[in-house]
Every structure is written in structure tokens, then in C-alpha cells.
Amino acid sequence: MAATLRCAFVIALAALAGCGRSIPDSEPTTGGSPKRGKDLIQHYGCGSCHTIPGVPGASATVAPSLDKLKSRAYLAGRLQNTPDNVVRWIRKPRAVDAGTAMPDVGLDESGARDVAAYLYSL
């Protein structure tokens, strides 16, 4: 019985250790360039709705801050936080959530991967 309790305790500790982790410790691979992503964020005016560290003038509070995006479990309240889902959300937000106020700015796959790379670098 004591061995069973110890085993259950170890399993519970291991499970709790993973709580709050949304992505692996390794930097997610987006296939994009953080430098180009920052430039695109400025070009498309993402800071008119979001606070985005490192982007001049991006201090709006209309939409969620994008600081520490890589540490979040979910995107848009419904997508698991993965590089591919960030790209999916950036490219076609209304395909994910028809009621979102976030516009489709027309970024192609490459541009969305660049933006995701910058956001994951924060």
C-alpha cells in the first residue's frame, strides 16, 4: 500500500510540474524571420489594436497584448498555441472565429510566419 501511495504521489507531482506549460522548452519553429516580422507588424499597423513590445507606437489596448505570446496555452481562446496555429490565426482570423474583430490584412504564408517568429521571440 505504501509503495502504491508513493507511486501515486510521484505521478501527481510529475503531472503538476507540467501545469501551465503551453509549449516545449525549445523555441518553436515558425520558419520565419523575426526581423521581417517586426517590419510587417509595423507596416500593417498591428499596434493600433495590440501592445507589442519592441514595436514603436504599439501600445494599444483594444485587443490583447502580444507580450509573452509563446507562454500562452491558447490563442484566441480556442486554438492550442502552436506555431502553425499562430500562422493560421494571423492569416485568416475570421476562418477561426467568425465573430472576431481582428481583420484579415492579407498576409501570405511567408509573412505570417515572419510575424509569428517575431511574436514568439518576445
Q: What is the pLDDT of residue 23?
A: 38
Q: What is the pLDDT of residue 29?
A: 83
Blockwise average pLDDT, block size 10, the chain, 122 residues: 44 40 51 94 95 94 93 91 95 94 95 95 92
Q: How many Cα neighbours within 13 Å face the side chain of 24?
A: 5
Q: Which of 70, 68, 66 is nearest to 26 (CA)?
A: 70
Please give the grid coordinates belonging to residue 77.
481562446
Residue 29 makes CB contacts below 8 A (sequence gap 6+) with: 83
CATH architecture of 29-121: Orthogonal Bundle (1.10)
Q: What is the pLDDT of residue 28?
A: 62
> Cβ(30)–Cβ(117) under 8 Å?
yes
Q: Model pTM?
A: 0.76
Output the CA–CA distances (angstroms, integers) from residue 31 to 20, 28, 67, 108, in the order listed.
Answer: 25, 9, 20, 13
The total of other beta-carbon atoms located within 10 Å of residue 102's CB is 16
